[in-house]
Amino acid sequence: MLPENIKYIIFDMDGTLLDSLSVWADSDCEFITGSGHDYDPSHSKVMKTMHFDSACEYLVREFSLPLSPEATGERILKIVEERYINSVPLKDGAGGFIKAAAGRGIKMCVATSNKKKLAEDALKAHDILGAMEFVLTSDEVGCGKESPEIFLKAAEMLGGTPEETAVFEDSLHAVISAKSAGFFVAGVFDEIYAEEFDGIKKHADIVLRSFEELLE
């Protein structure tokens, strides 16, 4: 489990609670190639550091698309939504860990760069939305996770301070951001971004390849 002083948890969703990053990469590929351009995995890696609207703006700019960012987002969501809700599994041990944390009286939330409705629908499909106090998105905060603002806002909404709040993240830039603001940071391994894990080890307080490690 976590240190005894931890009373609050902020979870990232994609790649942390949900094994969903391959779905986003596949959808990026389908959209880009369907627009008549060549897809490279580096495109998905660039967009991983952005919130959804910024990623759509990036696609329009990068490929000179004859679409607005809003129309681009609508097309991507249409590609991803059904498989995202129905096919994406929880990370190993995530459900058990959430149940154990709730049993300890820890208040939890999700802070994500995803769209709010999609995030809530996915969490609801796995019967864990009810365990969360709320879902906070980068859109609502107005910036991505290169800034700690979303974590600070989530901690404030939970009623806690960074020192008594754990942040679970799979992205190096988000781990660094949360750590810079004084949070206890747990780095979560995801195969899609395995090359970042050595960097995550240097900055996170703990790292795990499965939530089951915290239940042993």
Q: Give average pLDDT by consecutive 10-residue segment, the chain, 216 residues.
A: 92 94 83 91 83 88 92 87 82 95 96 91 93 96 93 98 98 96 97 90 97 89
**Amino acid at the residue 191:** E
Distinct helix (H) and strand (E) counts, the chain: 10, 6
Residue 56 · residue 70 · CB < 8 Å: yes
Helix (H) or strand (E) holding 119: helix 116-125
Domain identity same for 117 and 204: yes
DSSP-derived 3-state class of residue 89: coil
Domain identity same for 121 and 204: yes
pLDDT given for residue 47 in this prediction: 85
pLDDT given for residue 49 in this prediction: 75
pLDDT given for residue 147 in this prediction: 94
Domain identity same for 118 and 136: yes
| Domain assignment present for 176 | yes
| Domain assignment present for 160 | yes
| Rounded distance between C-alpha atoms, residue 72 and residue 53, angstroms | 9
pLDDT given for residue 23 in this prediction: 82
pLDDT given for residue 43 in this prediction: 87
| Domain assignment present for 102 | yes
| Rounded distance between C-alpha atoms, residue 76 and residue 31, angstroms | 7
- Class of residue 33 by CB neighbours under 10 A (exposed 0-12, middle 13-18, buried 19+): exposed
| Domain assignment present for 3 | no
pLDDT given for residue 85 in this prediction: 79
Count of domains for the chain: 2
Across the chain, the runs of DSSP E, i.e. the strands, are: 8-11, 107-112, 132-137, 165-169, 184-188, 206-208
Domain ranges, residue 109:
8-20+89-214
Residue 154 · residue 109 · CB < 8 Å: yes
